[in-house]
Amino acid sequence: MTVHMAAAEAAQRLKDQTDRMLALPETTLATQWAAAWETLEAAFADAIRAAQDPTTGAAPGWRILQANRTHEALAHAREKLEELLAEYTGVTADITIPDAINSALDAHARMVKTQLPLTYALSHTLNTITPEEIDWMVQRTTQRITTHTLRLPEEIDTKLKHALIRGTATGANPEETARQLLKQVGDTFKGGLPRATMIARTETHDAQRHATQQWESRNTDILEGWVWVAALDKRTCPACIAMHGTTHPTTEPGPNDHHRGRCTRVPKTKPWAQLGINQTDTAPKIQTGEQWYRSLTPQAQADILGAQRAHLINTGQIPFTALAQRTTNPGWRDTITQRPLSDLKQKAKNA
């Protein structure tokens, strides 16, 4: 049996609240990142034009990289990135992460109480996490974000050099040649922004999950485990749909979804009879991912899973659970990801 619908709705409200917390520093960083490129663009443009052949417009990569102007532009870019990321990490550590953890703990207490009769919920005292433990979680998450973001300036610096070294062999119009190469450099610089926000967003969500797992471990007298709840819509990946509604022990971390995942951890109370409640639990429960999938039209099923995956599922060649697999990521945690179509076909063939 899955979890109460009211608890899943509370989890969605927590997710929306967390998204708002993360959005403000992300928006600020995006504005600053764009402003930084406006400052850097002229320096890179000068370096490219100085390396161009005045007749053909060609700009050999080796010539661009050897220019002092290029070295200065790259150094300025790296300094600016380090400055922006330090400020962004500081705001995330001082404000976003503590607020996100405390909001998750408050929300989980509400999720538990929505699954119980009012009189029982009011009389039962839930155990909590100490402020010192929360401080440690904040420090741990900040360290992880800092470690990952400190690598970004160097990574982007390397990618900028790769973009420049490609250069242009010919160019009938020198101005157009310079403009195209400058656009490549600009796109490379701007491409670091999603990476930075993804790191902070993923680690913040993981901090919430770690905190609530610790909270659950203090309340096993009333909790049976936790339920994986996905945001079910046309954007949901097959793996998350397969995991939606599955129950896991409180000792298991998660939900370990992919980067920028939209899944949440919902505590599940023990059956009322085990808690000594002499009533029948008639509250509506959420569907499993497979039940939700089966309720869709054939076209909607194909749109979400892809026509071939949907065919394998709908013809019974593979179980619905086969859509998800555990992936090991060195230097990070394991994740639940979508199983490749080729593997699913092999499973169907071996069945």
Enter the DSSP assignment of 116: S
Q: What is the token pair recorded at 163?
A: 């973009």
Contact 147, 200 (CB under 8 A): no
Enter the DSSP assignment of 38: H
Contact 341, 311 (CB under 8 A): no
Q: Where are the alpha helices (DSSP H) in the chain?
A: 5-51, 61-66, 68-91, 97-113, 118-123, 131-150, 152-166, 174-190, 192-217, 238-243, 289-294, 298-305, 307-314, 341-350
3-class SS of residue 175: helix
List the beta bridge partners of residue 115.
none
Whether residue 60 is preceded by a cis peptide bond, meaning omega within 30 degrees of 0, is no
Contact 22, 201 (CB under 8 A): yes
Q: CA-to-CA distance for 50 and 47, rounded, in angstroms?
A: 5
The predicted pLDDT at position 171 comes to 52
Q: CA-to-CA distance for 349 and 277, rounded, in angstroms?
A: 49
Q: How far is CA 129 from CA 7, 132, 206, 218, 244, in A?
A: 21, 8, 16, 8, 27
List the beta bridge partners of residue 268.
225
Q: Environment class of residue 195 by beta-carbon count within 10 Å: exposed (0-12), middle (13-18) or buried (19+)?
A: middle
Contact 267, 278 (CB under 8 A): no
Q: CA-to-CA distance for 256 and 251, rounded, in angstroms?
A: 13
Q: CA-to-CA distance for 144 and 138, rounded, in angstroms?
A: 10
The predicted pLDDT at position 50 comes to 83
Per-residue pLDDT of the chain (351 residues; tens, 9 = 90+): 578 999 999 999 999 999 999 999 999 999 999 999 999 999 998 888 888 777 766 777 778 888 888 899 999 999 999 999 999 999 999 999 999 999 999 999 999 999 999 999 989 999 999 999 999 999 999 999 999 898 999 999 999 988 888 766 555 566 777 788 889 899 999 999 999 999 999 999 999 999 999 999 999 999 999 999 999 999 999 999 999 999 999 999 999 988 778 899 999 999 999 999 999 988 899 999 999 999 999 999 999 999 999 999 999 999 999 999 999 888 778 899 999 999 999 999 997
Contact 89, 146 (CB under 8 A): yes
- Buried/exposed 140-167: b ≥16 CB within 10 Å, e otherwise: ebbebbbebbeebbeebbebbbebbeeb
